[in-house]
Amino acid sequence: MSQLLIQLDRISKEYVNDGIKTPVLFDVSFNINEGEFLAIMGPSGSGKSTLMHILGFLDTASSGKYLFKGQDVSSLDDNKLALMRRHEVGFVFQAFNLLPRTTVLDNVTLPMVYGKIPLSKRKEMALNALNVVGLEHRLDHLSNQLSGGERQRVAIARAVANHPSIIFADEPTGNLDTKTSIEVLEMFQRLNREGKTILMITHEQEAANYAKRIITIRDGKVVSDK
């Protein structure tokens, strides 16, 4: 039976600038089990990226409770949130976020430097991850020599290399053509079949359909979960 990974209970978020409050999320509640492939859908400005930033320890909620593996994230300071980011989650972004004049291998190993993983172990983990995404033959290529699809696969390898508890993918096909988008989405499906927990943010129904569960957010509220 799947273990409960994430519990959100009435999470709300507002930003305050010059005394002006801008509410973004309202009483968001849902759970995520280990091994799920979940898409969060919604139009621009719906709050889905803010929600992912809270889930990925990049931001904190204004109110409500967020439990990760039973631990109350709401009570953690910045240092502990940084540790959670480093050890528990992997990120895949629309813009790839790779260093352009750096090799594929070094792009994948870079986040592990901050985790103080020994060099030989970093290389072993990176090679395994690049093998998973089919790019073991591109180790010494610079990332700016790769196609968009290959860059996103490097980003996926970087996300999975440290064996995180969950992978967050923020509009991962936004900069890709249709054929390459399908290849990337099928890769997420394969990773999920192998046991990886994946949460994807998207505004495209076609992309969301690759997930097993779709939560739709509109105006900062969950309007459907199926």
pLDDT, tens digit, for every residue of 75-128?
Answer: 889 899 988 998 899 999 998 899 989 999 999 998 888 777 888 899 999 999
**Residue carrying the six token digits 């994948």:** 108
Q: What is the CATH number of the domain that holds 101?
A: 3.40.50.300
Going by pLDDT thresholds of 50, 70 and 90, the confidence category of residue 74 is: confident
Angular region, 74: left φ>0, alpha ψ -120 to 50, beta rest: alpha
The reported pLDDT for the residue numbered 13 is 97
Please report how the helices 148-160 and 104-114 are oriented relative to each other, as an axis angle in degrees rounded to 10: 30
What is the number of structural domains in the chain?
1
Distances (CA, A) of 157 to 14, 24, 142: 34, 32, 15
pLDDT of residue 1: 67
DSSP class of residue 103?
B
Interval 179-194 mean pLDDT: 95
Query: What stretches of the chain show up as alpha helix (H) in DSSP?
Result: 48-55, 78-88, 104-114, 119-132, 148-160, 178-193, 205-208
Residue 190 has pLDDT above 70, yes or no: yes
Mean residue pLDDT of the chain comes to: 93
For residue 108, give its domain range: 4-225
> From CA 26, how far away is CA 50, in angstroms rounded?
12
Q: How far apart are CA 89 and CA 196, in angstroms?
A: 11
Question: What value does the mean pLDDT take over residues 187-201?
Answer: 96
Torsion 45-51-52-54 (CA) sign? positive
